[in-house]
Amino acid sequence: MWAGLIELNRARFVRGGPPVFGFAALCRELTGADVGPLARICAEDVAKRYSSACFETARRKKAGGRARYPRRKRAVVPVRFRFSAFTLDGRRLRLATAKGEPELWVRLARDVPYDPAAVRAVTLIVDAGRLFVDVSAEVPVEDHDLDPGRVVGVDVGIIHPYAAVGPDGDALVVSGRALRAEERLHLEDTKRRSARMGRKAPRRGQRGSRRWRRLRATQRRAERRHIAKIHLAHHEAAKTVIAWAVARRVGTLVVGDPKGITHRKAGRRQNRRVNTTWRRTHLTGALTDKATRAGITVVLVDERGTSSTCPRCHQRVPKPRGRAFTCPHCGLLAHRDVIGAANIAARGGGTIDDVPDESSTTHRRAGTVPTRRDRRRHRWDTSRAARRSSPTPGRPTAATTVGSRSKGSQPAQHHPRARSDRAATKRHPPRIANVITTNATGY
């Protein structure tokens, strides 16, 4: 369907006609066309996605940015089924099909965490070779007797995902050490996989071998697991911030908006950290979703200059290199992210009596410290064995690796679980359509 819309506009361009971008015009072009065994609502959803992509490209071009119209013929496209096009029965989901086609039932891996009457739409998504069901449900707003006049400023960052300052002179700092470790290890793993795949990559116009396709599937699964870990840690951090705000009856959340930060030239290393490892959009979205369900109003303000301005004397100071902020004018000493959150709260109409010090700051962590996922990654050389803090079971430690082997010693054997796991995977291949994700979570 997606490829057909691309070919439609390509043919009109060859004939010298104007392209068709409007949703209504695309639906008229689809009148009488065979859209396959699924219901016509699926074709309309694909047309709507194509129309939105074209209009977004036109808007960016008009603003002077670089953008290209949809040109890649995708094999699979997410399809959304509205309330009248699906039926949810426990762990079974029936999707609408075309007239005369057999019923389509999808088996889910777990129960939907919402009342079936509250589910408004489901979306089929294929990611890394697995089928997911994204559920959209209507959930009520909770009542916590919050005061809209109590304002909390939130600073979104890389080292600390969230830093919040309350009106009572206390602060909350959520550490992202586990997130940075996961990003760093994932980058190293990606480089190693790319180096191994580069030797087997097909030439332009050639179809890759079965080994190449298996490597590509492995890479997509690793990327999916990585993104799932990062997103789960973001939700944990947002849940911590909202619970901290609800306990203080905060009714307004002022969040610093880092919009436009990717257009600044701050050096190769900093640009890479901002563009690839800092998922600021998902951080802001997770916090907004949980705040909305808790009944907290979210206000976005410009965060530029908040970490280099003293909230006590309102003087600009040199940008601190570390996490400690020191004002040369009034002598204020505090955490740099706490300073930024205090200034963000002031820009949103909040009143901070005094900047919290270390004694009134609560520290929390988000995410789980990652572990090495590939047993083959542990080498037996001296340099890696000396730096390894937790060797994999079945592998020799640094003491047994360094030096020569004695006459009576035996070579290290591979761990039996690794072979049994591979055998079990071959006997029982992973199933599809057994994972369900939701886009509305409670705080």
The verdict on 46 and 12 lying in the same domain is: yes
Q: Is 155 among the domain residues?
A: yes
Please check whether residue 254 is in contact with residue 291, taking contact to mean a CB–CB distance below 8 angstroms: no
Name the nearest CA neighbour of 353 among 173, 146, 166, 172.
Answer: 166
pTM as predicted = 0.75
In 102-199, the DSSP E strands lie at 104-107, 119-127, 130-137, 147-156, 162-165, 171-175
Q: Is 202 among the domain residues?
A: no
Name the nearest CA neighbour of 154 among 145, 164, 146.
Answer: 164
Residue type, 55: F
CATH of the domain at 289: 3.30.420.140
The verdict on 162 and 273 lying in the same domain is: yes
State how beta strands 79-81 and 119-127 pair.
antiparallel
Residue 426: count other Cβ atoms within 10 Å of its Cβ: 7
Residue 64: count other Cβ atoms within 10 Å of its Cβ: 6
State how beta strands 147-156 and 250-257 pair.
parallel
Q: Is 348 among the domain residues?
A: yes
Q: Which residues of 134-143 are buried (b: 16+ CB within 10 A; e: fewer)?
A: ebbbeeeeee
- DSSP 8-state secondary structure symbol assigned to residue 38: B
Angle formed by the axes of helices 2-14 and 40-62, to 10°? 50
Q: Is 237 among the domain residues?
A: yes
Please check whether residue 365 is in contact with residue 178, taking contact to mean a CB–CB distance below 8 angstroms: yes
Q: Where among 307, 334, 365 does a domain terminate?
A: 365
Sequence-ordered list of residues with C-beta below 8 angstroms from that of 339, at least 6 positions apart, any chain: 306, 307, 309, 310, 311, 325, 355
Terminal CA-CA length for the chain: 38
Name the nearest CA neighbour of 400 among 426, 382, 387.
Answer: 382
State how many domains the chain has: 3
Angle formed by the axes of helices 210-247 and 280-293, to 10°? 40
The verdict on 156 and 268 lying in the same domain is: yes
Residue type, 349: G
pLDDT at 303: 87
The verdict on 91 and 154 lying in the same domain is: no
| Distances 181 to 128, 176, 281, 389 between C-alpha atoms, Å | 23, 9, 20, 15
| Distances 58 to 13, 43, 290 between C-alpha atoms, Å | 16, 23, 33
Rounded Cα distance between 114 and 239, Å, is 19
Residue 302 pairs in a beta bridge with 257
Please check whether residue 337 is in contact with residue 157, taking contact to mean a CB–CB distance below 8 angstroms: yes
pLDDT in tens, 381-432: 444 444 444 444 444 444 444 333 344 444 444 444 444 444 444 444 444 4
pLDDT at 35: 79
Q: Is 216 among the domain residues?
A: no
The verdict on 116 and 151 lying in the same domain is: no
pLDDT in tens, 90-117: 899 999 998 888 988 999 998 998 998 8
Kindly state the tokens that stand for 79. 């399809």
Rounded Cα distance between 58 and 69, Å, is 8
Q: Is 437 among the domain residues?
A: no
The verdict on 162 and 281 lying in the same domain is: yes
The verdict on 165 and 293 lying in the same domain is: yes
pLDDT at 281: 87
Give residue 154's domain range: 147-177+229-365
pLDDT at 262: 64
pLDDT at 263: 66
Q: What is the mean pLDDT of the chain?
A: 80
Name the nearest CA neighbour of 120 among 137, 141, 140.
Answer: 137
Three-state SS letters, 48-93 = HHHHHHHHHHHHHHHCCCCCCCCCCCCCCCCEEECHHHEEEECCEE
Q: Sheet containing 86-89: which strands, arranged edge to edge?
A: 86-89, 92-95, 104-107
pLDDT at 435: 42
pLDDT in tens, 50-64: 999 999 999 999 988
The verdict on 134 and 152 lying in the same domain is: no
| Distances 427 to 132, 416, 419, 433 between C-alpha atoms, Å | 23, 17, 12, 19
Q: Is 34 among the domain residues?
A: yes
The verdict on 58 and 134 lying in the same domain is: no
The verdict on 7 and 38 lying in the same domain is: yes
Q: Where among 365, 398, 423 does a domain terminate?
A: 365
Rounded Cα distance between 284 and 274, Å, is 15
Q: Is 270 among the domain residues?
A: yes
Q: Where among 311, 333, 365 does a domain terminate?
A: 365
The verdict on 170 and 304 lying in the same domain is: yes
Rounded Cα distance between 287 and 280, Å, is 11
The verdict on 46 and 95 lying in the same domain is: no
Q: Which residues in the chain show pLDDT less than 50? A: 374-443
DSSP for 418-437? HHHHHHHHHHSPPPSS-EEE
Please check whether residue 257 is in contact with residue 108, taking contact to mean a CB–CB distance below 8 angstroms: no
